Amino acid sequence: MDFKAEVIDKSQQQPVVVDFWAPWCGPCRMLGPTIEQVAEEQKGRWTLVKVNTEEEQQIAMQYGIRSIPNVKMFYKGEVVAEFAGALSKTQLEQWLENTLPDGRKETLELILQRLDGDGDLTELEAFVAQHPDMKDARLALAGELAISDPERSEALLMPIKMSDPIAEQAAAVRIITELMRHQADDSKAGSLLAQAQEALRQRKREEAIQHIIEAAGVDKTYHSDLPRRAAIAFFQYWGPQHPITKSYRRKFDMVLY
C-alpha cells in the first residue's frame, strides 16, 4: 500500500484512523467489524485505513507495532492518539470523542470569545443549529440560556449522558435551571432564593451568589439542599479562576462547615 498517500497525505485534511491487524489475531477479528461500523456511522469526520501487519511488515516496524490490534490516529501527518487491544463500540466511540481533532471546536471557542454579555446569542444559536450533534456547543448555549430560558436549556442538555466528558458541567447547568424554575415559598431561605433569581435575571451575579450562600446558611435542607447545590453548580460553571469563585468559595465553605 501507499501509506504516505493513504494516511500521511490524507491526514492533512482529515484525521485518519489506522487499524493495524492480522488475519490470525482473535481480538483483531472482534475489533475489526466494530471499528468499520463506527467509521461508516461517522463518515465525514475521519477516515479508516486497515493495515495488515503480515503484508505490511515494514510499516508495522516503522510505527513500533509490537502487539495487535493496535489503532493509531494520524492528523497533519503525525500520530496524535492510539490504543492497543479490542474495545467495545461504546469504548471506541468514547475514545474518538475524546481524541478526534475537530475544527468545529476552534470555531466554537472563537464564538464564545466574541460573546459580550449583552444577551445576543445569534451566532451561537446558528452554530448549534448547524451542528446539532456537537454536545460542547449545546452545553455552551444551554449555559447561556439557563437563567433566561431554563426549559429550553434543559432540552438542549438532553443528549448529554453521564458517560460524556462534559457530564459534570451539564449537571451544573441543570441545577442552575432547577434554581431558576423554583417557586420560592415565604420562608427566609425561599425569600433569599427569590432575590437570587431576580439578581441573576438582572445579571448581578455577585449579588445572586451572596443570597444563595446566605440561604444555605439559613436552611441547609431547604428544597432538597437547593441553595448548597446551586452555589456549587455556579462555582463549577464559572470555574475556579473566576473572580466570584475566588471571592466566595471560601465564604461558602465557612457557612456550611
Averaged pLDDT, 76-87:
94
3-state helix, strand, coil split of the chain in percent (to 5) is 60, 10, 30
Catalytically annotated residues: 25, 28
At 120 the pLDDT is: 84
Domain ranges of the chain: 3-99, 104-256
CA distance 195 to 201: 10
* Angle between helix 135-145 and helix 167-181 axes, rounded to 10 deg: 20
Instruction: Report cis status (omega within 30 of 0) of the bond before 69.
Output: yes
Q: What is the pLDDT of residue 109?
A: 87
pLDDT at 68 over 90: yes
- What is the distance of C-alpha 176 from the center of its chain? 17
pLDDT in tens, 140-170: 999 999 999 999 999 999 999 988 889 999 9
CA separation for the pair 139, 9 (Å, rounded): 34
Predicted local confidence at residue 118, as pLDDT: 65
- Tell me what the mean pLDDT of segment 111-137 comes to: 88
Mean pLDDT on 9-38: 95
What is the rounded CA–CA span in Å between residue 257 and residue 253?
6
Burial (Cβ within 10 Å: 0-12, 13-18, ≥19) of residue 2: exposed
Instruction: Work out the pLDDT band at 245, boundaries 50, 70, 90.
Output: very high
Q: Quick one: pLDDT band at residue 116, thresholds 50, 70, 90?
A: low
pLDDT single digits (tens) 83-114: 999 999 999 999 998 888 877 888 898 899 88
Grid coordinates representing 132? 446539532
Q: How many CB atoms lie within 10 A of CB 231?
A: 26
User: Model confidence at 117, in pLDDT bands (50, 70, 90)?
Assistant: low
Superfamily name and number for 3-99: Glutaredoxin (3.40.30.10)
pLDDT computed for residue 254 by the predictor: 94
Mean pLDDT of 72-87: 94
Query: Cα separation of 156 and 256, whole Å?
Result: 32
| Single-letter code of the amino acid located at 151 | E
pLDDT digits (tens, 9 = 90+) for 162-212: 888 899 999 999 999 999 999 999 999 999 999 999 999 999 999 999 999
Query: What mean pLDDT is predicted for residues 213-227?
Result: 95
Question: Distance from CA of residue 36 to its chain's centroid?
Answer: 25
Provide the mean pLDDT of the chain.
Answer: 94
Q: What is this structure's pTM?
A: 0.67
Going by pLDDT thresholds of 50, 70 and 90, the confidence category of residue 256 is confident
| Predicted pLDDT of residue 8 | 96
Q: 10 Å Cβ neighbour count for 20?
A: 24
